[in-house]
Every structure is written in structure tokens, then in C-alpha cells.
């Protein structure tokens, strides 16, 4: 087991390695069994944990909520993330899809048990040490200098252009919480839990599924961030 985990760690060190299947035991090890101390944040689809490799490298491990999990959605999500590689899109490094059967007592109190399949579905990404954009913006932009703000705006636009034109993906939930910043304050677009993929021949996407963040609420801080930057031009 140790040698297998060592090989996984070696592959995770390679920035050019394709996303890989990661065993649940390995992800438990690097997150201290998904301890509260390892929690980085929580969203509508799961909890994100800090996974620390023996080398000190950190990855983000998103454990999806079972109650909201649809197998088809998970498979589509992994498939859409596999080929995405851009400096302004959070890098997808691996996934876990394991299930186990557990005996669960029936709620009737009869003492009888039924076997139920308990899925474990996780997505793993590069770690962005400077957290999300919403932690850095306010009415005063918390002292972020104009050049940095400009580079963040430009990076977000570049990432969204890549997703839309090259990957044919509409994010549908772009907001400051879903824009992460690495150690150099480079923006990384994240959270494709409700993304939609459309064909190359489609010029627009029409959907009745309104999952996501209300547009005005989600984009207002970004619009302010943009306007407060361009006002300096």
C-alpha cells in the first residue's frame, strides 16, 4: 500500500500528468480522514479539504454530498474536466469513484436491516493558497493595487473565453467565491458543479434549469471590482 501511495504522490508532483483515479484510502490519508482541521470550505455540492502530500505539496479534495449526488452528473463533470488546461482555470488533478455496501437498520424499529450502496465521489484540484476573490474585495478592494486588480480581471476574462470558445462550456455560476487566487494572485476559475456543455454548432444555450447564484447577486461584486479598476484609467 505504501509503495502504491508513493507512486500516486510521484504522479501528482508532475504538472503535466493527466487527471488520475485516486483511491479513497489515499485521499483519507492526505486529509487526515477528512478531519475538521483539514476543511478549506463548503459549497452547495460538497466540502473541500486540504490534502497534504509527503513532499509538502497541497491539493484540494472536494468530497461531494451523497444526498445531492447523481451518478450521471458526476460522470459528465469528470469527463468535461479531463481535457481542460488553462492558466486561469483551476487545474483538475484527479477523482475518486468508489462505493461500499452497508447494512442499515430500517426506520420502522423492527430491528431488520437492508443493504444500501454508499457512494463516495470526490474531485481533486490544484490548491490556490490565496483563497477566493470574495475574501479580497470590498468597497476599498482591501488595498489590492491597481495593477494586480487589472491582471485578475484580465485573467478571469481569458479563462472564461477559453471555457466558452475552446471547451464549449458555460459556467452558469461565475461569482467571486468561484474565482480562486494562487500564491502569485493569478485567478483560477473554479466550481463547475452546475456547468453546461453545448455542441460546437450551437450559438446560444437555452435552459429551464436555474440552478446557481442569482445573476445580480453573483456578478455585482465583480462589476464593482471592474469599475473601480477602470476608473483609474
Question: Cell 461531494 belongs to which residue?
Answer: 64
Query: What confidence tens digit (pLDDT) does each residue in 78-114 have?
Result: 888 888 999 999 999 999 999 877 777 777 667 777 7
User: What residue ranges define each of the domains in the chain, with the CATH number in brackets?
Assistant: 2-126 (3.30.200.20), 133-230 (1.10.510.10)
- Active-site positions? 173
Global pTM value: 0.78
Looking at residue 197, its pLDDT comes to 59
Q: Do the annotations mark residue 70 as ligand-binding?
A: no
48 close to 27: Cβ distance less than 8 angstroms = no
The DSSP annotation for 137-179 comes to: -STTGGG--HHHHHHHHHHHHHHHHIIIIIS-EE-S--SGGGE
Looking at residue 103, its pLDDT comes to 76
Amino acid at each position: 500500500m505504501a509503495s502504491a501511495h508513493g507512486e500516486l504522490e510521484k504522479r501528482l508532483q508532475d504538472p503535466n500528468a493527466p487527471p488520475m483515479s485516486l483511491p479513497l484510502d489515499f485521499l483519507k490519508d492526505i486529509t487526515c480522514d477528512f478531519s475538521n482541521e483539514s476543511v478549506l470550505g463548503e459549497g452547495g455540492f460538497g466540502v473541500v479539504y486540504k490534502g497534504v502530500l509527503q513532499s509538502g505539496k497541497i491539493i484540494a479534495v472536494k468530497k461531494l454530498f451523497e444526498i445531492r449526488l447523481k451518478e450521471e452528473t458526476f460522470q459528465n463533470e469528470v469527463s468535461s474536466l479531463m481535457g481542460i488546461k488553462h492558466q486561469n482555470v483551476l487545474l483538475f488533478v484527479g477523482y475518486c469513484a468508489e462505493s461500499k455496501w452497508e447494512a442499515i437498520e430500517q426506520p420502522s424499529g423492527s430491528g431488520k436491516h437492508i443493504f444500501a450502496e454508499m457512494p463516495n465521489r470526490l474531485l481533486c484540484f490544484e490548491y490556490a493558497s490565496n483563497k477566493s476573490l470574495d475574501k479580497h474585495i470590498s468597497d476599498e478592494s482591501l488595498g489590492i493595487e491597481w495593477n494586480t486588480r487589472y491582471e485578475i480581471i484580465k485573467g478571469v476574462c481569458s479563462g472564461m473565453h477559453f471555457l466558452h470558445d475552446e471547451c464549449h462550456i458555460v459556467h452558469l455560476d461565475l461569482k467571486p467565491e468561484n474565482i480562486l487566487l494562487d500564491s502569485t494572485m493569478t485567478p483560477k476559475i473554479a466550481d463547475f458543479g452546475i456547468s453546461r456543455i453545448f455542441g460546437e454548432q450551437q450559438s446560444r444555450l437555452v435552459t429551464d434549469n436555474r440552478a446557481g447564484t442569482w445573476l445580480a447577486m453573483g456578478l455585482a461584486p465583480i462589476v464593482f471590482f471592474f469599475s473601480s479598476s477602470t476608473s483609474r484609467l
